[in-house]
Amino acid sequence: MPSDNQVPRIKPGKLPAAKLRRLLTGLRREDPRVIIGPQVGEDASAIAFADRCLVVTTDPVTFATDRIGWYTVHVNANDVAVMGATPRWLSVVLLLPEHDTTETLIDGIMRDVHDTAQSLGITVCGGHTEITTGLDRPIVVGQMLGEVARDRLVAKTGLEVGDQIILTQGVAIEGTALLAREKRDALRGQVADDVLARAERFLFDPGISVVAAVRAAIEVSSVHAMHDPTEGGLIGGLCELAAASSTGLHLRFDQVPIFPETAAVCRPFKVDPMRLIASGALLIGAPENDTDRIIAALGLQNIPAVVIAEVRPAAAGVTIEANGVTLPLQTPDRDAIASVLEH
């Protein structure tokens, strides 16, 4: 039997998709009211109550140290919203490092949570706080609950062959802000000051919330599936969406919008923006006949959007076309930002 030192270690970030799939396969869903349970590609569950569904998600903020209260509210609200639900209630677990916690730190995080939740009409209704040994940074874990009429629930299993995939805003909005804020000193001198300042502001402009984009889309079309790509970036999000719906996807690289600020902060670290944590973007799967109407509705909310991919049979796999060459895609083992933040 190999010793602990010989057993391969799993690197920080999400569990590899294959490992996660094996773990989830062993979970039994005994309550029939759980109509969407744990599976690769789904970030929230849905529990039926008569003609309505309670949508529940939980997500930690572990990469960021700056504005983590803001992050916590938005990333959890996004997971609820992409199922067609309205985010309503939030519980927060705040784990603080034993050596570096001050009242100023605590007050700042909780003020961010309160103000951000209030801006989205969300009630903070509980949680837990503690000083935790072994931490070198704060960790905030949110649990968000929302509600939706049962016949308006949007599951990621709903994609159909022939659907088009719309992307809002652009790739790696969150990753751009994270790199600019967490690696500010390393980027100075390699990225122009005004570009770096704009990249830092990506947290707020374009911003990491997709709640408004979801509302605009579902008001004009019965969308088949939605997803907010997070760890693993756009590539990870598309692979998760295809896995959840048991379909293939074909991505056209030349259609993917990449902000110049994103390219600028990625270049010094040799980071691929397509594999960089991507909160702030929304993937919408809808029939081809509905895409123009959805894009127009998003435009009225000043949310740019473009078709980047089409849904194909599962046998076609997930592929990307770039410069006339088509290559297969797989879920990234870890987000591109993880290796940058380790150094």
Q: For 59-110, how does the pLDDT look when each residue is reduced to its tens digit (9 = 90+)?
A: 998 877 778 999 899 999 999 999 999 999 999 999 999 988 999 999 999 9
CB 118 within 8 A of CB 39: no
Name the least confident of 61-75, 149-163, 241-255, 273-287.
Answer: 61-75
pLDDT band with cut points at 50, 70 and 90 for residue 28: confident
Task: Give me the torsion for CA of 231, 235, 236, 237, rounded to 10°.
Answer: 90
Instruction: Provide the pLDDT for residue 331.
Output: 86
Instruction: Provide the pLDDT for residue 260.
Output: 97
Instruction: Provide the pLDDT for residue 332.
Output: 86
Q: For 274-312, how does the pLDDT look when each residue is reduced to its tens digit (9 = 90+)?
A: 999 999 999 999 999 999 999 999 999 999 999 999 999
- Single out the residue of 103, 171, 168, 105 nearest to residue 139, CA to CA: 105
Assess whether the region 42-152 and the region 156-341 belong to the same CATH fold. no
Whole-model pTM: value is 0.90
Given this structure, which CATH class describes domain 42-152? alpha beta
Given this structure, which CATH class describes domain 156-341? alpha beta
CB 136 within 8 A of CB 95: no
CB 126 within 8 A of CB 253: no
Sequence spans of domains, the chain: 42-152, 156-341
Tokens of 134: 């072994």
What H or E segment, with its residue span, contains residue 168? strand 164-168
Percent of the chain with pLDDT strictly greater than 90: 78
